[in-house]
């Protein structure tokens, strides 16, 4: 199993800083996390219309989602390196999810990949016509 890098600052403090860099890497903290507005929008979809979400809750979910993505991607990256490939593809991510025990995500992700591949196989000109 792949080793996951620790969160910047050991999981404490704000990760919406103006571009602080982690001592372990040259990646800006703001580039490690999904945008907080997107996180909040997704969280609100699962709640009643009048529900409020605390900033701390959004920050926590933002950090957890980013760690999850890092965890899955790291495992897929290790597989690609062993196979002497430089590009991670959707099948590598499915393999990674399976290997790490996230079987519940496999079928929806496979269905999405099939649909995605069908759409990208269609010439862009035809996609534009079908939108009219």
Which CATH number fits the domain that encloses residue 97? Answer: 1.10.20.10
Q: For the chain, what is the domain count?
A: 1
What percent of the chain shows pLDDT beyond 90? 64
CA distance 25 to 45: 34
- What are the CA-CA distances from residue 66 to residues 5, 14, 59, 76 (Å)? 11, 14, 11, 15
Query: Does residue 84 lie in a domain region?
Result: yes
**pTM of the predicted structure, to 2 decimals:** 0.67
Q: For all residues of the chain together, what is the average pLDDT? A: 81
pLDDT at 24: 54
Average of pLDDT values for 33-60? 95
Query: Does residue 18 lie in a domain region?
Result: no
Query: Does residue 71 lie in a domain region?
Result: yes
pLDDT at 30: 64
Confidence of residue 129 (pLDDT cuts 50, 70, 90): low
Residue numbers of the domain that contains 80: 31-129
Query: Does residue 15 lie in a domain region?
Result: no
pLDDT at 128: 60
Least confident window among 1-10, 63-72, 108-117: 1-10
CA dihedral angle for residue 109, residue 4, residue 7, residue 16, rounded to 10 degrees: -30
Query: Does residue 109 lie in a domain region?
Result: yes
Query: Does residue 4 lie in a domain region?
Result: no
Query: Does residue 13 lie in a domain region?
Result: no
pLDDT at 29: 67
pLDDT at 48 over 60: yes
């Amino acid at each position: 199993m792949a080793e996951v890098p620790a969160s910047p600052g050991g999981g404490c403090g704000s990760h919406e800083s103006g571009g602080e860099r982690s001592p372990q890497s040259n990646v800006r903290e703001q580039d490690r996390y999904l945008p907080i507005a997107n996180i909040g929008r997704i969280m609100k979809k699962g709640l009643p219309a009048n529900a409020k979400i605390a900033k701390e809750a959004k920050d926590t979910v933002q950090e957890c989602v980013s760690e999850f993505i890092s965890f899955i991607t790291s495992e897929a990256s290790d597989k690609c390196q062993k196979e002497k490939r430089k590009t991670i593809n959707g099948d590598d991510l499915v393999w990674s999810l399976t290997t790490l025990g996230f079987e519940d995500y496999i079928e929806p992700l496979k269905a999405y990949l099939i649909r995605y591949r069908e759409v990208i196989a269609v010439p862009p000109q035809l996609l534009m016509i079908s939108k009219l």
